[in-house]
Amino acid sequence: GELRAASQAQPNIALIKYWGKRDAALNLPVVGSLSITLESLWTRTEVRFVPGQKQDRVSLNGRSDEAETRRITKCLDLLRARAGVDHGAEVASRNNFPTAAGLASSASGFAALVHAGARALGLTLSLEEQSVLARRCSGSAARSIFGGYVEWAHGKLVDGTDSTARPLLDAAAWPLRVAVAITSTAAKQIGSTEGMLRTAETSPYQSAWIDTQEADLSVARSAILAHDFDALASISEYSCLKMHALALAAQPGLLYWNGATVECMHRVRALRQQGVPVFFTVDAGPQLKAVCAPSAIEQVKAALRDVPGVLDVLDTGLGEGARAIAT
Ligand code: DP6
């Protein structure tokens, strides 16, 4: 039959952050992390392996990009090695959200690629095995294989086979919502991979970051299992600000925020002060993600839209993991 399949995956947002690698070649993290998978932002990817074709041909939102194609080829090589084939592939991938907006398109992108590619090759891989493969392509992609609340273990084995993500709680069990304030559509700053490397080499806070992560994970895990919003809010903002403090202390310092990002943080904290169940998190870019109770979403969106410099506010619930779609 035809070696062809298509899958969808959604981005995820870390509440307890991944920053730093214990093995760059295998892409193993120095710390565990914990995330929520989103619902209405997605990547849809179709993969077709073509016997006799040498190169991979890649279209991302209808365009091709050499650097992205190289990264996708590296990822497909892992699947080809498993299947014992060397066919080139045709890959067509689409996002329904702005790729340059720093919304973790690599997480949904590589989760969808691994999920579709494995099926196209007839590989029967467990979700955990798919998570391990997605991790090697981009760390945060390990988490987008699963839906809802997800934890990715740093693992102890040198080969990284235990550094997989696992589901912690279903999205439907605690259906929080997320508003994303877009504060810039300019091209990426220093990418995560390079930022993590620079941080490990130069930030004096690297060891404190590693030493305190286990405690943060444990607090967040308990908060999620108990549906304790206030506890999750405070540990998540703490982890976010701690990651940025770590990166700010690199040399040269990694400053991912713009003025509107900071203003949004203040706005979210002011809302929480007034009793609105909401907290913020920010990744390696200027967008702010506000996580809130479903009842608060309209108020949160309105407050963020009101911040000078906010260009747009997206909103989404929590969603499922990677899954097959029609080709
Ligand atoms: C700040 O997964 O993009 O979003 O493994 O080098 O591809 P690579 O990095 P990536 O890093 C994500 C960093 C983060 C925090 C997080 O998602 O946990």
pLDDT, position 102: 63
Distance CA 49, CA 181 (A): 38
pLDDT level of residue 104 (50, 70, 90 thresholds):
low
pLDDT, position 189: 84
Atom of ligand 1 nearest to the CA of 107: 2
In the Cβ-directed half-sphere of 197, how many Cα atoms lie within 13 Å? 9
Q: Is 283 in the pocket of ligand 1 (CB under 6 A)?
A: yes
The mean per-residue pLDDT over the stretch 269-276 comes to 98
pLDDT level of residue 100 (50, 70, 90 thresholds):
low
124: three-class secondary structure by DSSP:
coil
| Beta bridge partners of residue 286, listed in sequence order | none
Structure ipTM over 0.95, yes or no? yes
How far away, in angstroms, is 126 Cα from ligand 1 center? 23
How far away, in angstroms, is 141 Cα from ligand 1 center? 8
pTM above 0.80, yes or no: yes
Q: Is 105 in the pocket of ligand 1 (CB under 6 A)?
A: no
pLDDT level of residue 303 (50, 70, 90 thresholds):
very high
Q: Helix 127-137 to helix 105-120 angle, to the nearest 10 degrees?
A: 130
φ, ψ of residue 252 to 5 degrees: the values are -70, 150
CB neighbours of 185 closer than 8 A, spacing ≥ 6?
98, 100, 101, 311
**pLDDT at residue 202 is higher than 90:** yes
| Beta bridge partners of residue 325, listed in sequence order | 6
